[in-house]
Structure 1
Amino acid sequence: MAQLCGRTVGNLPQLRDATTAGRDPMLTIVRSNTIEALSEALAEQLLADVREGRVADPLAPQDVLVSNNAMSRWLALRLSEALDPAGGGICANVAFHFGGRYLAERIVRLADGPPGGGDDWQPEQLRWQIAAAIVALAETAAAAALGPDELGLWAPLLRLWGEEDAAALISRSRLQLLMELADSFDQYALHRTAMVQRWLKGTDQDGCAEPLAPQDRWQAALYRRLQQVIDAATPTERLEQVRQRLRQDQWLREEGQRNGPLRVFCLSGLPSPYLDLLAAMAETGVRALEFYVLTPSQQPWSDIQERHALLAQPDALRDYDGLLRANGHRLLASLGQSMATSLRRLDQLGASLLQAGVTVLSKDRFIPGDGNQSLAQRSAGSVAGAKRTPVAAAPAGQTLLGRLKDDLRLLRNRDPLSLDPDLLPQPVDHQDHSIAVLSCAGDLRQVESLRQWLLRLLDEQPDLQPRDLLVMTPDVPTFAPLLRAVFEQPAGQGPSLPVRTTDRSLRLLDPLVDLAFRLLELSSDRLERTTVLELLQHSLLCRRFGLREQDHQSMDQLLDAMGVHWGLDGAHRQALGAPADEAHTWRWGMARLALALALDDPHGAGLQVDRLPAAGSWQGVAAACSRGELGPFAVRLLELLDGVLEAIAALAHPRTCCQWDSTLMGRLRRLVAEQDLAGDSLMALNEALEPLRQRASRSCGLDLDAAAVRRLMQDGIRDRQGGYGHHSGAITLSALEPMRSIPHRVVALLGMDEQRLPRREPRSGFDLIARAPQPGDRDRRQEDKALLLEALLASRGWLVATYNGSDPRTGDALNPAAPLADLITALERGFHRADTPDQPLTRSLVFDMPLLPGDPGQLNDAALPGSYDTDHLEAARALQGSDPVPPLWPAGFVLPAVPGDGAAGAAAVEQGTAARPLLLLEELQRFFDDPFRALLQAMGAAPLQRPRDGGSQDDDELDGLALWKLERQLLPLLQRLQPAEALTARWTLPLQQRGLLPPGAVAEVLLERPLARLTQLTSREQALLAQRQPCSHELNHRGIRFNLQGNLDGLVLAAEDSFRLQLDSARLKPKRLLRSWIEHLLLNAAGEGEMAMPSLLLCRGTSDNKPRLCRLPRLPQQAAADGLETLLEQRSLGLRHPLACDSTMAWEALRRQARDEDGGGRGSLSALLGNIGPADISDTISPSWALLHPDRADQAERWISSEPVRLLATDLFGPLRDLLAGGEAGLT
């Protein structure tokens, strides 16, 4: 038997040390529980090879196989440090390769296969060969040229292919089928080599050598058909050819000596054919192998004798799992199955080489504790010595994390029922938070809680820096924007933590790639207004067509005026199953906008009775608006719309790969500026288009639709997203993937929910490997479980995990991910609190985080991290009552006063040294409509817009805004045209032409309800007017600070009973009532003699649609002037400082105050106020108020009853409330 140099090879039994053999080892296995120790061993080996002349060509690159980009970059940095301890080292001439890709290419090259990407057996090319074969079968079947036996054989495959599209058309679903078939056949060749060999010999058997089921026989037949059409050896045939070449070709041995050993660094899960290739290379002396293996245990994973004989048994892998679970550490048994499988397969590789007479060397470098000790002090022996690191006891005072790692290293399976005193649970300091689990309510709370926890660590550890923190999550798309928003705080709003996301999609990084994807997505979309608007606001498009960010709001308003709902044109709508009507499509809307550039629409602001209905229209199309309402960018917007819609229409048609490449690039050149279609952006786009171009170069005659092209482009950018930016100086956010746990002092795991981990890997129903898995097959669920074990090994000081412990909507309890639950269970059974041994460790391990970041419980609980944000502290104090009214605005920040404001301004006006500035009535009313929006505009900030989705509605329905616009148009017509039938017959078409009514007969149906409501209003108006005609009058109030001027209409002048009547189709709400109250104050403050009069407001009721009449009595002139001055003073203050509330919230505050006084009974004042107030508390909160009062957004219910709101409510509505309470004003 061959000699073994060293003590053990992984789990192999101890053999006699025989270093006198005099031969260099062909297989070297270095094991450690830290990646740093493995990297140091690799650096030593590289130096030793150069110094001792083991590499014939010193300029030949040294090949190192790794799993991903992150590992290669980290390893290059570590090697540069290890090669020169002074800090000036450079890692050069080391070639890092992805393990599977490198070995696959090596097999193809040794088997004289086609170079580059021309191998038709690679999945990226095999899918197209499968497509050609299926298309030929489908066309033959359609021509009834298949016999009964053949038709029965291929029927399952043809059903999967489908018959809804043309046989040669590759849709997204068909492309997905092709990709799954190609991947399955590739996996068959790697993991079921014997099965594929039997297929090629004509024997239809599965991986267990059992006959294939009738519905699966088509797979073997398809594989044989592919062998006939592909002019290259199959993967299984190549493996046999490679074995023969390795035994026969002397130049391969010479090449291996020139290049040096092939080093495999922390790479697990290699398929059996690849391991066989490596074994053949070592056995034939072609190339030496070095494996650097990360393993948590320094001992074999179970105390089993005769392991060498066990490995030789046929069911060794299955039995090994059971023995490990019975005798090994419980955490390794639950989380380490995939890692154990890789280690056992490496053991089998070593055993086979030993039996072949190959020298094998084993070296161990295990670090006790949490792995944060100095490697220079802990490493024992050198490459030549090849000695095992001595087992070190855990140092005194070690953290929970370090003790757990030591237990894994020494396989100490602690249990309260153990008879061994050394295996009983150990005490842990209750302040030891080296392992912490945060139970939260929702993804946002996970991020907020993690931020507070990390801030606490940074505060308590002065030498800890953001670069020492690694955050990993199984759901990067969800948590990446949350992490950036929560961690990176603006200046002055709390501590800011920089974040660098490594797994960034190329689509998010490059706007040109994103634009290409958006165009392809919209080519198969309904083209609703909101989705197209998002595309029109793309940065590249705006730059090309000269549109600024300030134009976005005007762009939205113009699209609203165009009346577009969805659909490119009538033909596009018909293709989607809707009537082929042009109305409300993009082409129709563009025609209306273009007509507005040349034609004025007299009916734009409202239909005019004295104008013909056809005025403002041409060939059945009405102008979108008047020329005066168009901004200077209207022409550019039309050019942009035309270019974008043309591109979308062109991309909607299927075409070949070659045609897709030229068409997409041509459209982008028309839409993007030349400087944006160059440099890195162009390179990124070329990478995305590479799968198309590869197939185009081979003259593929199949047509692809846009969805299939988009799927291919996703494959093209997949390799570019991930593994970059681990060493940026900021906190690293990375995907939770195998071997991505780069060592950091703090490792945090976000989103460890049972819904997210282990991940459900969708497998096709025809996959024979998934149906009958065998030991050694890749198991995604077991790999996901091993991720927590890898994160545990990568953490050098602290491990923090968060999960959703309760549903944020329902409050239902939720479980952590299965791996995290296994970790908690292992810690509970192996450790207990030192202060309370009878209490479970859970109290100092799992923390229930409060529902809100400003919860007083988080600040009062010493175990929780507290808060490092002043606004959270203020909110907590407010909830506790210690500070019920925190400041509304940053201390000392006040905007400059408006002209004439303040005591100095008022004095200057009184002394005649300054003129009273003019203020229009509409300006005062618009301020109180939304005082917070007005303040934002005064600050120069962009006004906050409420989200609208007007583009998704169907043409046969009207949303609230469309109905309001329609009623605003109908009301003046109905006041002059009676009866309603005359209005319907004459004005339906003009309303349809302007997009206010849908086309067809449905317009008359939709007109019925608004006409009925408006008829009730106008009938009551006519009764009140009694044949009198109202007039308008301009009024001017010379106030203390302003001259308030406004034109009031609806004045009914008579000798005895003059009054003002306002008619509005909207519902009677506080905002509308305040507008009328301001006009009523101006009417009575500026009116002289007969001009002082009562006001009547006729609207629809809040809870129903019945007419409601609000009566406001005549006021004394001084009282009206005082009321106006109070409102003007509030406006002056509100333009410099945010008011406590708006009119809706103020009215609700008065209603609640009245309810507290009168009990809210029927006929009471509070009941009367409730007929006008909002129906729900959420209706009182405006977006602008929430933006300017972020600390009160979650406390609106309590804030309404606060003193500042009550004081402002009294200023706004106090006199009106008194009039309603006294019966002088009323609502009927």
Structure 2
Amino acid sequence: KLIQRQAFGLPDVPQNTWTTGLDRILLGVAADETDLAWLGQASPLDDVDSGDIDLGGRLAELIDRMEAVLWRLRGPQPATEWAAKLGWALDLLTDVPDSDAWQVTEARRELAAATEHAGCTALRLPDVRAMLAGRLAGRPTRANFRTGDLTVATLVPMRSVPHRVVALLGLDDEVFPRGAGVDGDDVLARDPCPGERDRRSEDRQLLLDAVMSAGDRLLVFYTGADPVSGHPRPPAVPLGELIDVITATAGGDIVQHHPLQPFDAGNFDAAQPFSHDRSALAGARAGQGDRVPDPPFLPAALSQPPTDVSLPELVSFVVHPTQAFLRQRLGIRIPDDEDEISDALRAELDGLEKWDIGERMLNARLNGVPAADFRQAEWRRGTLPPLRRGADLLTELERGVEALVVAAQPIHSGPPKTLDVDVDLGSGRRLTGTVTGIHGRALVSTSYSRLATKHRLTAWVKLLAVAATYPGPWQAVSTGRGSYNRPVWRSTLTAPPEAAALLQDLVELRDDGLTRPLPIAAGASAVYAERRHQGNSVEEALEGAERAWGGRFGDSTDRHLVYIHGPEPHLSRLLEEPGGGSEPRRFGVLARRLWTPLLGAERLGPP
């Protein structure tokens, strides 16, 4: 709420508040973000399904009731007022079936008992919280001792309750006994007198009672080593004293160290076995056996029956053959490292978040939305940092977006068209799909991203599909940002006369790539093919491919390649298969097979 943000000096920042979020959800029931419309301080939330309308309404009702409760639980108030308002909050926020109605009665009884002798004393919310903390804290229930069954209980006084076996768990240092920190509101703790309660002394007494109540066996467990580093950790101080006394009187080492892992060989000593788990025993035997190298990811190529091919599947394979093999052939999806959703008001945005805003701004500007209208809509989305930081970020992004708009606006004139493609691949197979973003005789795409290999390969495959279905002078124009701070960079591809044959070759490459992982990497293969196309030697091309392979964002960090070739793979893993002709390795053969036709039809540079 904006009123709550006033205490932090942010009274004019409605973004990322519950009020704005609920307004966006409820507006999303009746509208979407297509036209960048807004109402008041909120814009509609996209993709609110009809099945979510009831859920959104109930959430709005819950937040409204919580706001009403929090508004009344403010400032110093008499204790009787606190009891009345907390009882009202119970009725407003809770509900129980008839069989559990006693819980409401018990809660009201506790509130009444807590304020019974308070009179008209004024209390603040922290005072009420501290007053109720002790009354509402969990209490140990009555343990059923002497039943012959296993009884699990907290440490309770057992001075006169004998047991055959007593097992104490978790007597770790810095955990037991409980700390004796002084509460600032406890006046008696500032100057304690003899006979007052001391939690540490009480815990030591409870330990003594448990020890003395053991008849046949006493088992005490504590963490003896750090689970990560393995460094020894001492027991709790009272337990250490107990160990010292027993060692001094009875002699011998009574402490037994157990391994951390259940498959440790120490658990299966034939003379005195600690574990009888057969699966753990199998693990222990395997751990003591000879080390064998990891088997290959795929011992032999898989069979791939010829089927029809969809255009999106072919595009996905050409852009990333390894990912397509895992997804399309094996049905395996390698999850990406997803960041946790932050509920903080961001003061800085990372690169991906800036790209997301820039991409939305570019699409809006190409669709004729004024920059001022986009600013207003983006502020209401809640994605920008507050106040001046958000305004500066939008200004920075606008400079890059406007350069792309100036370059791409002429080729984006008029509404885009859509074409269906249908190519006969022979042997009864067909390639089908839909191509969007067609202006005249050009396939046009503009992105706020840096113009990368995936944009060029996507445009190339779609261009071949359109040219093979509708012969003619077709072009594919892809515009994006360039490397080394170039504001605009463009790839212009001209459809070759043999478009159908080239498309057939890509389909055959996909057929081969769905039987086994091909030695192709998106960045390294592109650099290698470009170097060879420019007339460089094999060694010079490999040098460039190695630079594209390594680095922070190189192919070696690709999670799909890591899944197949192992962690921190080296480019040499892709150079093992021999090639033919002028290319000594199959890596080079496939790189040139994929890229040489594209490079021969491409004009790359500023518009």
State the TM-score bracket (shorter-chain normalisation).
0.5 to 0.7
**Pair 1:747-2:177 in alignment:** no
Equivalent position of 1:801 in the other structure: 221
1:799 to 1:812, Cα distance in 2 relative to 1, 3 A: closer
Are the counterparts in 2 of residues 1084 and 1120 from structure 1 also a CA contact under 8 Å? no
User: Is the 8 Å Cα contact of residues 964 and 1066 (structure 1) preserved in structure 2?
Assistant: yes
Residue 1014 in 1 paired to residue 363 in 2? Answer: no
- Equivalent residues of 1:644, 1:671 under 8 A apart: no
User: How far off its partner does 1:624 sit?
Assistant: 0.8
Q: Is the 8 A contact 2:364 2:374 kept in 1?
A: no
Aligned in 2, Cα 1:858/1:1105: closer, same or farther, shift over 3 Å? farther
* Match of residue 362 from structure 2: 971
Say whether residues 1:1046 and 2:447 are aligned partners.
Answer: no
Q: Structure 2 vs 1, CA of residues 1096 and 685 (structure 1 numbering), >3 Å: closer, same or farther? A: same
Deviations 1:383-420 (A, max 9, x none): xxxxxxxxxxxxxxxxxxxxxxxxxxxxxxxxxxxxxx
From 546, 556, 559, the equivalent of 1:1166 is 546
Paired position in structure 1 for 2:180: 761
Deviation per residue, 1:767-788 (Å, 9 max, x gap)? 66775765x6654334434555
Distance 2:219 2:539 in 1: 56
User: Which amino acid is 1:617 matched to?
Assistant: W
Structure 2 counterpart SS, 1:579: coil
Q: Report the CA distance between 1:1045 and its aligned residue.
A: 1.3
For 1:1098 and 1:868, locate their aligned partners in 2 and report how far apart those are by CA, in whole Å: 60
Q: One-letter code of the match for 1:1045?
A: G
In structure 1, what is the Cα distance between the partners aligned to 2:541 and 2:149? 61
> Equivalents in 2 of 1:875, 1:1212: separation in Å?
41
Closer/same/farther in 2, CA of residues 922 and 1161 from structure 1, 3 Å limit: closer
1:1062-1211 aligned at under 5 Å gives the runs 1062-1066=445-449, 1077=457, 1080-1081=460-461, 1083-1084=463-464, 1087-1088=467-468, 1098=480, 1116-1125=502-511, 1129=514, 1163-1170=543-550, 1173=553, 1180=559, 1197=567
Tell me the distance in 1 between the aligned counterparts of 2:457 and 2:336: 26
Q: 1:714 aligns with which of 112, 119, 133?
A: 133
Query: Residues of 2 paired with 1:1075 and 1:984: CA distance?
Result: 26
Shift of the 1169–1097 alpha-carbon distance from structure 1 to 2, 3 Å rule, reads farther
How far apart are the structure 1 equivalents of 2:102 and 2:90? 14
Equivalent position amino acid for 1:1063 in 2: T
Structure 2 SS opposite 1:1164: helix
Alignment-derived partner of residue 649 in structure 1: 68
Structure 1 residues 815 and 991, CA gap change in structure 2 (3 angstroms): same
What is the distance in 1 between the residues matched to 2:80 and 2:169? 44
Change (3 A) 1:879 1:1104: farther
Which residue does 2:109 correspond to in 1?
A: 690
Structure 2 residue aligned with 1:951: 343
- Say whether the 8 Å CA contact 1:805–1:816 is kept in structure 2: no
Alpha-carbon shift at residue 873 of structure 1 (Å): 3.6
The verdict on how the C-alpha distance between 1:745 and 1:1094 changes in structure 2, with shifts beyond 3 A counting, is farther
Tell me the residue number matched to 1:624.
Answer: 44
Counterparts in 2 of 1:746 and 1:1149: CA distance versus 1, 3 Å = farther
What secondary structure is seen at the aligned counterpart in 1 of 2:221?
Answer: strand
User: Which position in structure 2 is the counterpart of 1:578?
Assistant: 10
- 1:847-926 to structure 2, matched below 5 A, reads 847=258, 849=260, 865=275, 873=283, 881-882=291-292, 884-885=294-295
Asked whether the 8 Å contact 2:524–2:555 carries over to 1, the reply is no
Q: Alpha carbons of 1:1028 and 1:763: their partners in 2 closer, same or farther (altered >3 Å)?
A: closer
CA distance, structure 1, for counterparts of residue 525 and residue 287 of structure 2? 26
CA deviation map 1:557-591 (0-9, x unaligned) = xxxxxxxxxxx2x2232244422444443223333
Tell me the CA shift for residue 761 of structure 1: 1.3
| Paired position in structure 1 for 2:99 | 679
Query: Matches of 1:1047 and 1:871 in 2, distance apart?
Result: 59
CA distance in 2, matches of 1:590, 1:796: 63
Report how far residue 1010 of structure 1 moved: 2.1
1:588 pairs with one of 16, 20, 24:
20
919-928 vs 593-602, which deviates more?
Answer: 919-928
- Secondary structure of the corresponding residue to residue 632 of structure 1: helix
Deviation string, structure 1 residues 819-851 (Cα, Å, up to 9, x no partner):
343455456656777xxxxxxx48x7234536x
Where structure 1 has 5 or more consecutive residues not aligned to the other structure, the ranges are 1-567, 605-615, 834-840, 889-900, 910-915, 1134-1139, 1152-1157
TM-score (structure 1 length as normaliser): 0.37
> Is contact 2:268-2:281 (8 Å) kept?
no
How many residues in Structure 1 have an aligned counterpart in Structure 2?
561
Alpha-carbon distance in 1 for matches of 2:51, 2:542: 57
Structure 2 contact 314–507 (Cα < 8 Å) conserved? no
The answer on 1:995 being equivalent to 2:382 is yes
Partner Cα separation in structure 2 for residue 711 and residue 1063 of structure 1: 60
Counterpart contact for 1:658–1:696, Cα < 8 Å = yes
The CA distance in 2 between the partners of 1:1160 and 1:641, in whole Å, is 63
State the Cα deviation string for residues 508-554 of structure 1 (Å, max 9, x = none): xxxxxxxxxxxxxxxxxxxxxxxxxxxxxxxxxxxxxxxxxxxxxxx
Distance 2:323 2:4 in 1: 41
Q: 1:633 aligns to what SS in structure 2?
A: helix
Aligned partners of 2:202 and 2:370: how far apart in 1?
71
Change (3 A) 1:617 1:781: closer
The code of the aligned residue for 1:1046 comes to: T
Closer/same/farther in 2, CA of residues 780 and 595 from structure 1, 3 Å limit: closer
Q: Residues 1169 and 1198 (structure 1 numbering): CA distance in 2 closer, same or farther, change over 3 Å?
A: closer
Q: Distance in 2 between matches of 1:767 and 1:1160?
A: 80
1:691 Cα shift?
Answer: 3.3
C-alpha deviations, 1:765-814, integer Å up to 9, x for none? 7866775765x665433443455555555485572523162373x77654
After TM superposition, give the deviation of residue 1016 of structure 1 in Å. 5.7
Deviations 1:329-365 (A, max 9, x none): xxxxxxxxxxxxxxxxxxxxxxxxxxxxxxxxxxxxx
Q: Counterpart of 2:391 in structure 1: which amino acid?
A: E
Name the larger-Rg structure. 1
Q: Within 2, Cα distance between the matches of 1:1030 and 1:1022?
A: 12
Q: Alpha-carbon deviations, 1:863-892, whole Å to 9, x = none?
A: 77597657994997699743735999xxxx
- Higher relative contact order, chain-length normalized (CA < 8 Å, sep 6+): 1
Structure 2 stretches of 5 or more lacking a match? 527-537, 578-584
Residues 493, 598 of structure 2: 8 Å contact kept: no
One-letter identity of the residue aligned with 1:989: Q
Superposition pairs of residues 394-409 of structure 1, within 5 angstroms: none
Q: Which residue in 1 is equivalent to 2:529?
A: none
Secondary structure of the residue aligned to 1:1046 is strand
Letter in 2 for 1:1120: L
* Partners of 2:215 and 2:454 in 1: CA distance: 62
Shift of 1:932: 13
Cα offsets for 1:1170-1211 (capped at 9, x unmatched): 46836996x8499xx9xxx9xx9xx9737999999x99xx99
Answer yes or no: is the 8 Å Cα contact 2:359–2:448 preserved in 1: yes
Cα distance between partner residues in 2 of 1:1108 and 1:866: 67
Q: How far off its partner does 1:953 sit?
A: 1.5
Rate the CA distance shift 1:1200–1:804 in 2: closer, same or farther, 3 A: farther
Work out whether residues 164 and 216 of structure 2, in 8 Å CA contact, stay in contact via their aligned partners in 1. yes
CA contact (8 A) 1:1037 1:1085 kept: yes
The one-letter amino acid of 2:363's match is P
Residues 971-1028 of structure 1: CA distance to partner in whole angstroms, max 9, x if unpaired?
1245577xxxx955454223324434467555431213323443565577689x7999
Whole-Å Cα distance in 1 between the matches of residues 379 and 388 of structure 2? 11
